[in-house]
Structure 1
Amino acid sequence: MEKTVLSGMRPTGDLHLGNLYGALQNWINLQNEDYERFYFVADWHALTTGFDSSKEIPKNTINMVADWLAFGLDPSKSIIFVQSLVKEHAELFLLLSMITPVGWLERVPSYKDQIAQLGKAKTSNYGFLGYPVLMAADIIIYKAHYVPVGLDQVAHLEFTRELVRHFNHTTQKDVFIEPQPLLTKVPKILGLDGRKMSKSYDNAIYLSDSEEETTKKIRIMFTDPRRKRRTDPGVAEECGVFMLHKIFSSKEKQEEIKQACSKAEIGCVDCKKMLIKNLNEALKPFREKRKELLNKEKTIKEILIEGSKKASQKAKETLEEVRDAIFSTGRLR
């Protein structure tokens, strides 16, 4: 049986380099593997902490999918769809919520962290508390064998696995399979201020940034704090600029920079100039493709509508099994 891979992203704003190399690039690489692939716009998930910005979701969806397509996600190889266009997700979410202990939700690793980060005003809704159940529904309705994640996200997937075991045991039917993490090597990418690149920190280099905007941002990036003066030696491996060199510069150039930095033979300004040149050259084809796609918004919508129809067919089949497992064959049809 062909194995299934599933993943999604929330349309909460423009994608940045961290999103590209932490997730999207892995999706694209998997297109060369023997999997059935489902990638979706998690627009309902975006509402859990951003209901007051809901009117931005349609625009964000188009922009995000344009990024996916511009970098090489191929709708002829992967099913690309919108969560809210496949209503079966909502029904499975409802049914699963009937057997999910509240205590399980309160112990999800990110629950308290997000409350601390976003505040109670954005996280005191039922949707936020129950989002792991919706996430589980998203995955298991396609009977996904694998979910591509970084090592730090494995604990989140374990909730889904636990819920699968609970459902199968409660109904005495093996409807669902336990999805496994498809561990992906996520390169460490720091933002402009030296912290992890994130929209919430306002420290990101976005895929939608122009060449000029990218140049300005790299010029103000934090570097190795040891290098207070041009003559101070540094450790390239601990510098956010060098971490981007490891993606956008050749192996030879990386080694040259590493050695020169450790001996203070190169300054941070010169190092940034090299990165600016290499990064902008690498992103040029993408920027041109993205611009072309955004001028064909109708094409993007057609891809999403067609992908959602295909996803819905699979979801309906699974939901029939779920209803039979819960209500048995005596239910009204």
Structure 2
Amino acid sequence: MSSAKPVVLTGDRTTGPLHLGHYVGSLRARVALQHTTQQFLLLADTQAMTDNVGRHRKVTDNVIEVALDYLAAGIDPGLSTIFIQSQVPELAELTQYLLNLVTVSRLERNPTIKDEIRLRGFERDIPAGFLTYPVSQAGDITAFKATLVPVGDDQLPMIEQTNELVRKFNSAVERQVLVECEAVLSPVTRLPGIDGKAKMSKSLNNAIPLGASADEIKKAVNRMYTDPQHLRVDDPGQVEGNVVFAFLDAFDTEPATLEELKAHYRRGGLADSVLKRRLNDHLQALLEPIRQRRQQFSMDRGEVLNILRQGTERARQVSGQTMSEVKAALGLNYFG
């Protein structure tokens, strides 16, 4: 596949509506990148099935919800190709070939997978599909010959493993078929949960959805973890590890003023309530137009499905061309 623009592959597991952690992690980068790249945006329902056995309805129901979030956040289907992973069988076929190039022990050493296994309490009862999802992700990326992949810093081991597989495949077939990619990191690679935990997650009830109402945003900000030692306004406060400041770092539009607030907080005399009001104002300004656009798109879900249908057809065309090259390189073109 040739293109004058760099090719970008990005996406999310469709286990729930997107939240502010997704937004700062890579979503706002995707909105910007669509103007200068050829972007494929994947709704990863197949990957989401790997640890949602018996909860498949939750996965399929959320396909449309995540699509609504993308559209509301500013993804333009005229500029980006939005498609559903399970409806592009070429991805599963390419994954099958790539699985032959990696060992179980290498997959188990992947830091991202190790963290996710620990988080889910799998121990040795790891679903095979979940263990091999780095290979599935590699298949998604390489099927589109993507050179750029917007990710959070926790996904860097996945990009490394993708490039390992690309090199192994090209070496095995003695030609350059697949291409390596590089990660595109946001200035804010991860947003903590409002409770101070390291990761924002809907399942931990510490996230702010992109479609949150004004009242939900205000309540979430008021719940935010600050500095437990900052008991009185006059007490010096801790900026590091303070969730309110972490959010202000991500969303405040006046960095010079923010630095002054940090200095004031450290020496004492600045109330948490002042910071929370400032953060609430910034989040309300950011999320209100997103919420309004989401409501508008949700009024015509048939059109959203049509966008996904057209995007999926386009994704099949592009990934099909890559698969033709892969199968030819492997000698699997028996009938010409």
| TM-score for the superposition, normalised by structure 1 | 0.92
Q: Distance in 2 between matches of 1:88 and 1:14?
A: 26
Tell me, yes or no, if structure 1 residue 246 matches structure 2 residue 278. Answer: no
- Give the equivalent residue in structure 2 for 1:274: 278
**Amino acid in structure 2 at the alignment position of 1:246:** D
- Contact 1:230–1:264 at 8 Å: present in 2 too? yes
- Give the equivalent residue in structure 2 for 1:77: 79
Task: Please point out which of 304, 318, 325 is paired with 2:329.
Answer: 325
Q: Distance in 2 between matches of 1:100 and 1:168?
A: 14
Q: Distance in 2 between matches of 1:271 and 1:99?
A: 52
2:83 is paired with a residue whose SS is strand
**Amino acid in structure 2 at the alignment position of 1:50:** N
TM-fit CA distance, 1:328: 5.3
- Give percent identity, aligned residues only: 37
Structure 2, unaligned stretches of length 5 or more? none
Tell me, yes or no, if structure 1 residue 293 matches structure 2 residue 293. Answer: no
The more displaced of 264-273 and 137-146 is 264-273
The more displaced of 223-232 and 124-133 is 223-232
- Give the equivalent residue in structure 1 for 2:207: 204
Q: Distance in 1 between matches of 2:132 and 2:262?
A: 46
Tell me, yes or no, if structure 1 residue 59 matches structure 2 residue 61. Answer: yes
Task: Please point out which of 8, 12, 31 is paired with 2:11.
Answer: 8
Tell me, yes or no, if structure 1 residue 32 matches structure 2 residue 67. Answer: no
Deviations 1:258-285 (Å, cap 9, x if unpaired)?
2432333221123212322332132111
The more displaced of 116-125 and 126-135 is 116-125
**Amino acid in structure 2 at the alignment position of 1:81:** F
Q: Distance in 1 between matches of 2:285 and 2:160?
A: 40
Task: Please point out which of 186, 189, 192 is paired with 1:190.
Answer: 192
- Cα gap change, 1:97 to 1:247, in 2 (>3 Å): closer
Q: Distance in 1 between matches of 2:145 and 2:193?
A: 36
Moved over 4 A (4+): none
Q: Distance in 2 between matches of 1:273 and 1:182?
A: 32
Deviations 1:109-152 (Å, cap 9, x if unpaired)?
12232222102289622101211111111010111112123444
2:183 is paired with a residue whose SS is strand
Q: Distance in 2 between matches of 1:121 and 1:208?
A: 35
Q: Distance in 2 between matches of 1:121 and 1:55?
A: 26
TM-fit CA distance, 1:159: 0.8
- Contact 1:188–1:243 at 8 Å: present in 2 too? no
Tell me, yes or no, if structure 1 residue 162 matches structure 2 residue 164. Answer: yes
**Amino acid in structure 1 at the alignment position of 2:130:** F
Q: Distance in 2 between matches of 1:259 and 1:119?
A: 41
Q: Distance in 2 between matches of 1:123 and 1:47?
A: 16
**Amino acid in structure 1 at the alignment position of 2:53:** F
- Cα gap change, 1:152 to 1:118, in 2 (>3 Å): closer
TM-fit CA distance, 1:92: 1.0
The more displaced of 259-268 and 132-141 is 259-268
Aligned CA RMSD, in angstroms, stands at: 2.0
Structure 1, unaligned stretches of length 5 or more? none
TM-fit CA distance, 1:253: 4.3
Tell me, yes or no, if structure 1 residue 19 matches structure 2 residue 38. Answer: no
Please list, as runs of the form range in 1=range in 2, the aligned pairs for 1:49-128 lying within 5 A after superposition.
Answer: 49-120=51-122, 124-128=126-130
2:39 is paired with a residue whose SS is strand
- Contact 1:115–1:123 at 8 Å: present in 2 too? no
- Cα gap change, 1:140 to 1:250, in 2 (>3 Å): closer
Q: Distance in 1 between matches of 2:279 and 2:136?
A: 41
TM-fit CA distance, 1:32: 2.8
Task: Please point out which of 139, 148, 151 is paired with 2:150.
Answer: 148
- Cα gap change, 1:170 to 1:283, in 2 (>3 Å): same
Q: Distance in 2 between matches of 1:46 and 1:289?
A: 26
- Contact 2:211–2:290 at 8 Å: present in 1 too? no
Q: Distance in 1 between matches of 2:25 and 2:124?
A: 26
- Give the equivalent residue in structure 2 for 1:231: 234
Q: Distance in 2 between matches of 1:170 and 1:281?
A: 53
